[in-house]
Amino acid sequence: MEKGFMYWIVYILQQYWPYFIKGMFVTLWISILGTCLGYVLGFLLGLVQSTPVAKEDGLGKKIFYKIIKPFCAIFIGVFRGTPMMVQAMVIYYGLKTSGVNISPFAASIVVLTLNTGAYMAETVRGGIISVDKGQLEGGFAMGMSHTLTMFTVVLPQAFRNIIPEMVNMFLTNLKMTSELNVIGVAELYFTTKTAAGTYYRYFESYIICAIIYLILCTIFTKALSTIEKKAFAPKDYELAVEYSSTAE
Amino acid sequence: MTENKNNDVLKVEHLVKSFGTHEVLKDLDFSIKPKEVVCIIGSSGSGKSTLLRCINGLETKTGGSIYYHGNKIGSNLRELNKFRTQVGMVFQSFNLFNNMTVLQNCMSGTTKVLKIKKEEAKFLAIKYLRQVGMAPYINAHPAQLSGGQKQRVAIARALTMQPEMLLFDEPTSALDPEMVGEVLAVMKELAQNGLTMMIVTHEMTFARDVSTRTMFMDNGYIVEDDTPQNIFHHPINPRMKEFLKRYIDDLDKN
């Protein structure tokens, strides 16, 4: 007798659920760690990319940026211009061949970090450009250095502007980790592939996989947008009445 | 080379600024004495704002020298930043830091550049915010204020640095007519308190009544540089006469 769709779904879940859960957590860890480290890398790259070098700057600073800027540009170009799956293969097997023994899990985090960093660099640069130039000048006019104004005035505003894009990037990464199955990291997609192969039930296995991804993404979308709204809700200010009596 | 015989706060020599092939400032020479209130008038594009921006280094000058109390302001960033703490600037677009409250704005320069202690910085901030009538708004963010309020906070912020001199770059040009008055009143009080000021403005009555000296700029030159009395009542230059005609109604009314 032919067994139905629901039968297989239940059967696979019964047999395989610990692996799905484990895969899900691996996916979560890779995406959270990789994305967060990628944010940091992206901020550094974006900052370097958008630091102008003036005639008046010291020789050390000039040389540093002369060397590091093209390097950043090449890095960003390469990582935005190649598929992450290929990057994973090249990095993982590249390291293996050159004698560095790295676990697929660690390699996954490295690849995701570099990939996110490259995209994030451009996002950060865009965020910095989006802040009005007058903000910098306001700092300069009080004798603030470029770095000080950048960190206290421009970056906080740029950060605020790119949060939606950062959230977006995390959600994309959550799904993109599935590509990392090519280097054998036991994340959700890899686990599903194994389950499907074990029972020869491809359709049902991938339906389960899809549902888990969907649940994860939905939870994170809701949670992150709630946090964003809470954190940046326009706040009313209170008049400081203690100072209102003597205006002059 | 200059000797500071005559106690000038600021001395500008042969100042030239070009944007590409377009020469905006053409060999300007002048000096500012303590407590002078100099209004710079002239039509748009005559180089007034560029002059102020060259003085405090927001634009890199093409040629010439600027001296502050006889010391040449070089291109060294540390020197320039020190100079900027003593000669502040107020902008047309306010340039208050949008990520900070009014109080934080007014404490940013003192705590981060002058390294003054927090309590003292807060005391200074409140003192100058009171002077401009904005002390009750210390917890507000710039986005929650009107243009006139923002400009008054910007002036207070510049004052917290306790500068010797302030440069005003069209401080009322972005404001509704109703709000212009409140900002001009604050500036008038500063002038009366003896602050040295250079003000680029289109407010002719203010220039006539408050300044101790008025410069008329045209096409990159300082065409007239005299007392407001002479400038407004006995203009010599034909361009100046033509320029004033447009404001004649305004000047007559007040």
Token pair listed for A36: 């967060």
Q: Given a cut of 90, is residue A58 above it in pLDDT?
A: no
Q: Given a cut of 60, is residue B3 above it in pLDDT?
A: no
Q: Given a cut of 90, is residue B74 above it in pLDDT?
A: no
Phi-psi domain of A132 (left: phi exceeds 0; alpha: psi -120 through 50; beta: other): beta
Which residue is listed with tokens 């809700």? Answer: A233
140-169 in chain B: CB under 8 A from chain A: 140-141, 144, 154, 157-158, 161
Confidence label for A1 from pLDDT (cuts 50, 70 and 90): low
* Region of poorest pLDDT, from A2-16, A199-213, B101-115, B129-143: A2-16
The reply to whether residue B91 touches residue A138, judged by beta carbons under 8 angstroms, is yes
pLDDT at A182: 92
Whether the CB-CB separation of B33 and B208 falls below 8 Å is answered with no
| Nearest CA distance, B79 vs chain A (angstrom) | 9
Nearest to B84 among A143, A148, A157 (CB): A143
Q: Given a cut of 60, is residue A149 above it in pLDDT?
A: yes
pLDDT at B5: 57
Q: Given a cut of 70, is residue A35 above it in pLDDT?
A: yes
Mean per-residue pLDDT, A56-85: 90
Dump pLDDT digits (tens) for B186-218: 999 999 999 999 999 999 999 999 999 999 999
CB-based burial, A139-170: b 16+ in 10 Å, e otherwise = bbbbbbebebbbebbbbbbbbbbbeeebbebb
Distance of CA B42 to the CA centre of its chain: 15
Mean per-residue pLDDT, A109-132: 95
pLDDT at B2: 47
Separation of alpha carbons A143 and B109, rounded Å: 8
Chain B interface disruption, residue of A132, A136, A142, most B CBs within 10 A: A142
Separation of alpha carbons A136 and B130, rounded Å: 26
Q: Look over chain B and give the mean of its residue pLDDT values, rounded to a whole number.
A: 91
The reply to whether residue A141 touches residue B89, judged by beta carbons under 8 angstroms, is yes
Q: Kindly state the greatest CA–CA separation across chain B.
A: 55
Q: Given a cut of 50, is residue B78 above it in pLDDT?
A: yes
Q: Given a cut of 50, is residue B40 above it in pLDDT?
A: yes
Nearest to A237 among B96, B129, B141 (CB): B141
Q: Look over chain A and give the mean of its residue pLDDT values, rounded to a whole number.
A: 91
Interface of A with B (CB under 8 A): 54-57, 132, 134-135, 137-145, 148, 152-153, 156-157, 160, 237-241, 243-244, 246-248
The reply to whether residue A142 touches residue B85, judged by beta carbons under 8 angstroms, is yes
Mean per-residue pLDDT, A188-215: 92
Q: Given a cut of 60, is residue B77 above it in pLDDT?
A: yes
A-chain CB neighbours of B108 within 8 Å are 139, 142, 144, 152-153
The reply to whether residue A134 touches residue B91, judged by beta carbons under 8 angstroms, is yes
Q: Are strands B221-226 and B213-218 parallel, antiparallel or unpaired?
A: antiparallel
Dump pLDDT digits (tens) for A158-201: 999 999 999 999 999 999 999 999 998 999 999 999 988 988 88
Separation of alpha carbons B162 and B86, rounded Å: 7
Whether the CB-CB separation of B144 and B191 falls below 8 Å is answered with no
A-chain CB neighbours of B56 within 8 Å are 141
Residue B235 one-letter amino acid? P
Cβ contacts of A201 within 8 Å, gap of 6 or more = A8, A12
Residue B113 one-letter amino acid? V
DSSP label of A233: P
**B81 CB within 8 Å of a chain A CB:** yes
Judge if ipTM > 0.90. Answer: yes
Dump pLDDT digits (tens) for B100-133: 999 999 999 999 999 999 999 999 999 999 999 9
Mean per-residue pLDDT, A48-57: 81
Mean per-residue pLDDT, B15-20: 93
pLDDT at A4: 84
8-67 in chain B: CB under 8 A from chain A: 56-58, 60
Mean per-residue pLDDT, A223-230: 90
Mean per-residue pLDDT, A41-65: 86
